[in-house]
Amino acid sequence: MILAVLFANAEGNILIERFHGVPAEERLHWRSFLVKLGADNLKGVKNEELLVACHKSVYIVYTILGDVSIYVVGKDEYDELALSEVIFTITSAVKDVCGKPPTERRFLDKYGRICLCLDEIVWKGYLENTEKDRIKRLIRLKPPTEF
Amino acid sequence: MAQPLVKKDDDRDDEADYSPFMGIEKGAVLQEARVFNDPQLDARRCSQVITKLLYLLNQGETFTKVEATEVFFSVTKLFQSRDLGLRRMVYLIIKELSPSADEVIIVTSSLMKDMNSKTDMYRANAIRVLCRITDGTLLTQIERYLKQAIVDKNPVVASAALVSGIHLLQTNPEIVKRWSNEVQEAVQSRAALVQFHALALLHQLDKGKCSLTFGPMSLDPLYKSGNSTQSGDRPFYDFLESCLRHKSEMVIFEAAKAITDLNGVTSRELTPAITVLQLFLSSSKPVLRFAAVRTLNKVAMTHPMAVTNCNIDMESLISDQNRSIATLAITTLLKTGNESSVDRLMKQITNFMSDIADEFKIVVVEAIRSLCLKFPLKYRSLMNFLSNILREEGGFDYKKAIVDSIVILIRDIPDAKESGLLHLCEFIEDCEFTYLSTQILHFLGIEGPKTVDPSKYIRYIYNRVHLENATVRASAVSTLAKFGASVEELQPRIFVLLRRCLFDSDDEVNFYIISYIASLNYVVRDRATLYLNTLGGDIEIDKDVRDFLFGSLDIPLVNLETSLKKYEPSEEAFDINLVPREVKSQPLAEKKAPGKKPTGLGAPPSGPPSTVDSYERQLLSIPEFANFGKLFKSSAPVELTEAETEYAVNVVKHIFDTHVVFQYNCTNTIPEQLLEDVIVIVDASEAEEFSQVITKPLRSLPYDSPGQTFVAFEKPEGLPTTGKFSNILKFIVKEVDPTSGEAEDDGVEDEYQLEDLEVVAADYILKVGVSNFRNAWESLDPDSERVDEYGLGQRGDGLSEAVNTVINILGMQPCEGTETVPPNSRSHTCLLSGVFIGGVKVLVRLSFGLDSTKDVAMKLAVRSDDVNVSDAIHEIVASG
């Protein structure tokens, strides 16, 4: 299960957060844990370089893309490698929507589109679509070209 | 939640000037949402408002029920628009708002319309949304459409229905199970993705569990099914092995992981997987390094030798920037390292410890403890390491892990005792945790007096009397008194110190604190007075009191707690002798739980409260058994019938000093029968030393209402007499009218053959653990020791089977986890403890060895309070 996908800006403010199967009372804990993780480790990291951590039986893969840091949390079959696939799909979709690694402003400008992409990529805690061209068509309600 | 975004500095990029959501406010957005109701819909503007709503939701903003309903109503109006982009947003916002059941109905008709639309993408999305927001009743209404959708020509539609099925299976499994024909058909689809989703749903329908992911992850269910159905030959191994040469790193890794997870994987099978994992260790990608080292760490637990080839690569990971990777590398190295590499490793770890978090440090400390137990000769450097990190900053859990490790090393490595105790003494000089200080003081009281020079610990202990809070002071006084009681030459000096403790200044407040925390409820002064009196002989003190104060409490704490809770204040004093001493064995499932950590300072592991006292009460209430004396032991129930037979009977063996009582628990499983005058006819011809004295029949045994019948035998006093008994259940059976439930007046005599029953030597030994075997062993008279050697012949499963067999024959409690034999061991020592009938404490040391022909040899050493019991143990093993 992909437990959480979270986007934060450089100051650690949350831009998007989506939880799956995480009780509401635990979300605050995850939010602050992830933001602190990023603050401790993401400084000077190159765009899309993947960092990894584990917390109890839960895995976290996170990276930075432009002004935005992205965190994906998973457990069981969504271990560090599966999560790296998830985050790769997310970063390529975000780059595709924004045209390049986004500034915070650009990210917010394309906010609606990015939410739609996420909806296509993660469906109720499971990874679904992985190809950016397919995602690009699906969010515009266009049928994909390949099956 | 995000702070409102503020305007950035002007020198920033133009486009980053300000946020499109700056100053966003829920009330205003809700106002804006009225645009959804316009007769002329502005698709672009509507999309923008939905985006704002999404932003608010993603920021953790919540809508009241009224607000959500209002938005939801307005959103449904947007179905009128033909704009594709807006429609996609509408689908998303409905999912995000997750309306309640009474609102779903508003949107259902629109979504149903979309579900039957000619536009494939409408159909697909409508299915997803409906399945997300639907409940069971609505699902039955749309089930027909969903089944059609599964076999829809358009792959996007089919996939949407199948994926929805996977999720609906969790909430409405009975409905989804009806779709199997359609799902089977979808498996044949020409679109790969539909095939995959159909397979995933099928797999989940079969197994109830599946991972839904793409590409390489499909290996996951494959190897799981390979694992579960194959034990010896593995048809998937060659495939997995070929995947190790795949071009995708993900496939390689999943294949390697699958191989390492195979049941009973051999070193030969592991080799290719380890080789690719080793390559990943030096990957530039942290995720791959992490994955590889995590998998190798797991392999090192079962096959440490297979991982040693990677040690050099692993060592370079100690300096990895990612602390998770470094910690995993270190703990793996600690598992695979050999004796000669310990010192070098410790040097590397020392540098590393200062910059990791406590949670990682605890993992390292636990790994070091295991390493030290593996290489006891290296205790000096490992103990030094532990004492150094004990002095550094750290939280309670970390410090406790270190202290626990030192205590375990002191217990298991005799040479480490002196230095370990001194390290602990130094630690309490500056320890901020009351719990740890009191535990260490208690431990010092037990171990300190047994050292060569006990006097050197006194200073550390007495310092605590001056400088600590009342709880620690009280513990220190007890520890001092223990030294006084155990070391005669120290007594005069201890008296002086204890007298000084009488001037302790603790007041009423302290009294409450101590009463609450300290188990014996004495204030420091009172403790000091008590100990002075006890040791000094000012007043006559019973031997029992001395034993109680200074001896070890050999009653399981759980049992003591249960008895104390049951005790009602009355004229009659609480009798500690009535507290059951048997530790009820843990349920099987719990026993099998792997990775049980050794306990340090805490009490020895103990099971739930014993049922022995309830048996005792029950038996004493039967007048015929009232003069049998104290119940020594009751066995676990032994089944005498197969499962699901007409009559279910099991027996509990109750052992008294001169008697054995069999309690037959009978259950009648036939509704049309009533049994009366139920007895068990016992033939004791193969149990010559037993003579039957009492049979207590069961008057009536109605359907499904268990009852008991008893048979009692006399046996030689205090001896572990054994024998075999055959049993026949005898009764009068009466037919019962199923409608009225009344039995007929006349019955027929009938018999029912039961399984045989044996009384074995283990029935005469109570499983009573000791927390410190070495101390307990040394406290018993060496003259009571009896040693002999036995050849156990060849054993199928190596030493493990031999060890279990002997434990079962003796029915004693294995101590300090010695019942577990590490795989491929050629020698093993197992420590057992118990109480023999008559209340005689007995300890057994078993040393097993395996020779070149796989014959198992065993040396058995017994010590007990009674030499005859030591001999009896040997007789039991010799005849077993």
Nearest CA of chain A to the CA of B276: how many Å?
15
Q: What three-state secondary structure class fits B762?
A: helix
Tell which of A32, A46, A85, A108 to mutate to test the B interface (max B CBs under 10 Å): A108
Nearest CA of chain A to the CA of B165: how many Å?
12
Q: Tens digits of per-residue pLDDT, B394-436? A: 889 899 999 999 998 888 888 888 889 999 999 988 888 889 9
Q: Tens digits of per-residue pLDDT, B717-729? A: 878 888 899 999 9
CA–CA distance from B384 to each of B91, B361, B368, B390, B402 (Å)? 64, 16, 12, 10, 12
Across the interface, do B286 and A105 touch by the CB < 8 Å criterion? no
- Name the packing angle between helices B799-810 and B867-879 (round to 10°): 130
The whole-angstrom separation of Cα B212 and Cα B364 is 35
At residue B151, the pLDDT reads 92
At residue B277, the pLDDT reads 94
Q: How confident is the model at residue B622 (pLDDT cuts 50, 70, 90)?
A: confident
Determine the Cα angle at B643 with ends B642 and B648, to 5°: 80
Task: Count the neighbouring beta carbons within 10 Å of the beta carbon of residue B155.
Answer: 23
The whole-angstrom separation of Cα B548 and Cα B669 is 51
Q: Which two three-digit tokens encode residue B494? A: 């201890």
- pLDDT, greater one: B530 or A67: A67
* Rg (chain A; Cα; Å): 14
Partners of B849 in beta bridges: B827, B857
Q: Which two three-digit tokens encode residue B822? A: 């590490």
Nearest in space to B710 (alpha carbons), one of B753, B761, B652: B652
Phi-psi map region of A127: left, alpha, beta (phi>0 left; psi -120 to 50 alpha):
beta
CA B792 to chain CA centroid, nearest Å: 34
Residue B88: pLDDT above 90? Answer: yes
Q: Domain ranges in chain B? A: 26-205, 247-337, 618-759, 764-879
Averaged pLDDT score across all residues of chain B: 80
At residue B516, the pLDDT reads 36
Query: Thinking of the domain B26-205, which architecture would CATH place it in?
Result: Alpha Horseshoe (1.25)
At residue B549, the pLDDT reads 61
| Residue B288 at interface with chain A, using a CB cutoff of 8 Å | yes
The whole-angstrom separation of Cα A93 and Cα B89 is 17
Q: Looking at B77-91, B224-238, B392-406, which range is the least confident one?
A: B224-238
| Residue A103 at interface with chain B, using a CB cutoff of 8 Å | yes
Q: Looking at B34-38, B74-78, B108-112, B484-488, which range is the least confident one?
A: B484-488
In the CATH hierarchy, which fold is given to the domain comprising B764-879? TATA-Binding Protein (3.30.310)
**Window 197-236 of B, Cβ < 8 Å to A:** 211-215, 217, 220
The amino acid present at B2, given as its one-letter code, is A
CA B807 to chain CA centroid, nearest Å: 23
Across the interface, do B13 and A103 touch by the CB < 8 Å criterion? yes
Q: Looking at B7-11, B147-151, B346-350, B864-868, which range is the least confident one?
A: B7-11
Q: How confident is the model at residue A97 (pLDDT cuts 50, 70, 90)?
A: very high
Q: How confident is the model at residue A135 (pLDDT cuts 50, 70, 90)?
A: very high
Task: Search chain B and give the residue with CA nearest A87.
Answer: B287
For residue B77, what are the contacts with CB-CB under 8 A and spacing of at least 6? Answer: B36, B37, B41
Q: What distance, in Å, lies between the first and last C-alpha atoms of chain B?
A: 70
At residue A103, the pLDDT reads 92
Q: Tens digits of per-residue pLDDT, B624-638? A: 888 888 888 888 888
Q: What is this structure's pTM?
A: 0.57
Find the mean pLDDT for residues B797-819: 82
Q: Which two three-digit tokens encode residue B266? A: 């051999």
- pLDDT, greater one: B206 or B452: B452
HEC letters along B450-515: HCCCCHHHHHHHHHHHHHCCHHHHHHHHHHHHHHHHHCHHHHHHHHHHHHHHCCCCCCHHHHHHHH
At residue B796, the pLDDT reads 66
Beta strand ranges found along A57-132 (DSSP E)? 58-65, 68-75, 122-123, 126-127
- pLDDT, greater one: B595 or B563: B563
Residue B521: pLDDT above 60? Answer: no
| Residue B47 at interface with chain A, using a CB cutoff of 8 Å | yes
| Residue B85 at interface with chain A, using a CB cutoff of 8 Å | yes
The whole-angstrom separation of Cα B19 and Cα B30 is 19
Q: How confident is the model at residue B58 (pLDDT cuts 50, 70, 90)?
A: confident
At residue B534, the pLDDT reads 67
Query: Thinking of the domain B247-337, which architecture would CATH place it in?
Result: Alpha Horseshoe (1.25)
At residue B725, the pLDDT reads 92
Q: Tens digits of per-residue pLDDT, B607-617? A: 333 456 667 77
Residue from the list A13, A52, A143 with its beta carbon closest to the beta carbon of B322: A52
CB B308 within 8 A of CB B336: yes
For residue B578, what are the contacts with CB-CB under 8 A and spacing of at least 6? Answer: B563, B613
Contacts of B50 in chain A (CB under 8 A): 112
At residue B603, the pLDDT reads 39
CA–CA distance from B867 to each of B252, B315, B536, B589, B777 (Å)? 64, 55, 34, 37, 14
Q: Tens digits of per-residue pLDDT, B769-779? A: 776 788 888 88
Q: Looking at A100-114, B38-52, B82-96, B311-325, which range is the least confident one?
A: B311-325
Q: Tens digits of per-residue pLDDT, B102-135? A: 677 778 888 888 988 888 899 999 999 988 888 7
Q: Is the dihedral of CA B141, B144, B149, B150 positive or negative?
A: positive
Task: Count the neighbouring beta carbons within 10 Å of the beta carbon of residue A137.
Answer: 17
Partners of B751 in beta bridges: B730
In the CATH hierarchy, which fold is given to the domain comprising B618-759? Immunoglobulin-like (2.60.40)
Q: Tens digits of per-residue pLDDT, B823-844? A: 677 788 888 988 888 888 899 9
Count of alpha carbons within 13 angstroms of residue B121, beta-carbon side: 19
Q: Domain ranges in chain A? A: 2-138
Find the mean pLDDT for residues A120-144: 89
Task: Count the neighbouring beta carbons within 10 Å of the beta carbon of residue B775.
Answer: 14
- pLDDT, greater one: B451 or B533: B451
Partners of B526 in beta bridges: none
Task: Search chain A and give the residue with CA nearest B50.
Answer: A112
CB B340 within 8 A of CB B307: no
Q: How confident is the model at residue B550 (pLDDT cuts 50, 70, 90)?
A: low
Q: How confident is the model at residue B35 (pLDDT cuts 50, 70, 90)?
A: very high
Residue B508: pLDDT above 60? Answer: no
Partners of B723 in beta bridges: B759
Determine the Cα angle at A100 with ends A99 and A102, to 5°: 105
At residue B708, the pLDDT reads 86
- pLDDT, greater one: B552 or B602: B552
What kind and span of H or E run contains B601? none
For residue B296, what are the contacts with CB-CB under 8 A and spacing of at least 6? Answer: B274, B277, B281, B307, B310, B314, B332
Tell which of B93, B246, B290 to mutate to test the A interface (max A CBs under 10 Å): B290
Q: Which two three-digit tokens encode residue B737? A: 């009218």
- For residue A145, what is the DSSP state? S
Residue B620: pLDDT above 80? Answer: no
The whole-angstrom separation of Cα B270 and Cα B275 is 9
Nearest in space to B393 (alpha carbons), one of B358, B347, B342: B358
For residue B864, what are the contacts with CB-CB under 8 A and spacing of at least 6? Answer: B780, B784, B836, B840, B841, B842, B843, B870, B873
Q: How confident is the model at residue B594 (pLDDT cuts 50, 70, 90)?
A: very low
Across the interface, do A128 and B163 touch by the CB < 8 Å criterion? yes
Residue A18: pLDDT above 80? Answer: yes
Q: What three-state secondary structure class fits A63?
A: strand
Residue from the list A11, A112, A127 with its beta carbon closest to the beta carbon of B89: A112
Q: What distance, in Å, lies between the first and last C-alpha atoms of chain A?
A: 25
Query: Thinking of the domain A2-138, which architecture would CATH place it in?
Result: 2-Layer Sandwich (3.30)
Find the mean pLDDT for residues A4-31: 90
Find the mean pLDDT for residues B45-57: 93
Q: How confident is the model at residue B6 (pLDDT cuts 50, 70, 90)?
A: very low
Nearest in space to B363 (alpha carbons), one of B312, B325, B337, B391: B325
Q: What three-state secondary structure class fits B675?
A: strand
- pLDDT, greater one: B239 or B852: B239
Residue bearing tokens 């296509």: A120
- For residue A22, what is the DSSP state? -
The whole-angstrom separation of Cα B799 and Cα B854 is 9
Q: Tens digits of per-residue pLDDT, B637-667? A: 888 988 777 888 989 999 988 889 999 988 8
Q: Tens digits of per-residue pLDDT, B282-339? A: 998 889 999 999 999 888 888 888 888 888 898 888 888 887 888 888 888 888 877 7
Residue bearing tokens 């809770």: B565
The amino acid present at B622, given as its one-letter code, is I
Contacts of A14 in chain B (CB under 8 A): 1-2, 58-60
The amino acid present at B544, given as its one-letter code, is D
φ, ψ dihedrals at B592, nearest 5°: -80, -15
Are domains B618-759 and B764-879 of this chain identical in fold?
no
CA A145 to chain CA centroid, nearest Å: 25
Task: Search chain A and give the residue with CA nearest B289.
Answer: A52
At residue B90, the pLDDT reads 93
Q: Looking at A65-69, B138-142, B477-481, B852-856, which range is the least confident one?
A: B852-856
For residue A84, what are the contacts with CB-CB under 8 A and spacing of at least 6? Answer: A50, A52, A61, B287
Residue bearing tokens 């799981």: B224
Q: Which residues of A76-94 are buried (b: 16+ CB within 10 A; e: fewer)?
A: ebbbbbbbbbbbbbbbbbb
Residue B12: pLDDT above 50? Answer: no
| Residue A14 at interface with chain B, using a CB cutoff of 8 Å | yes
At residue B216, the pLDDT reads 42
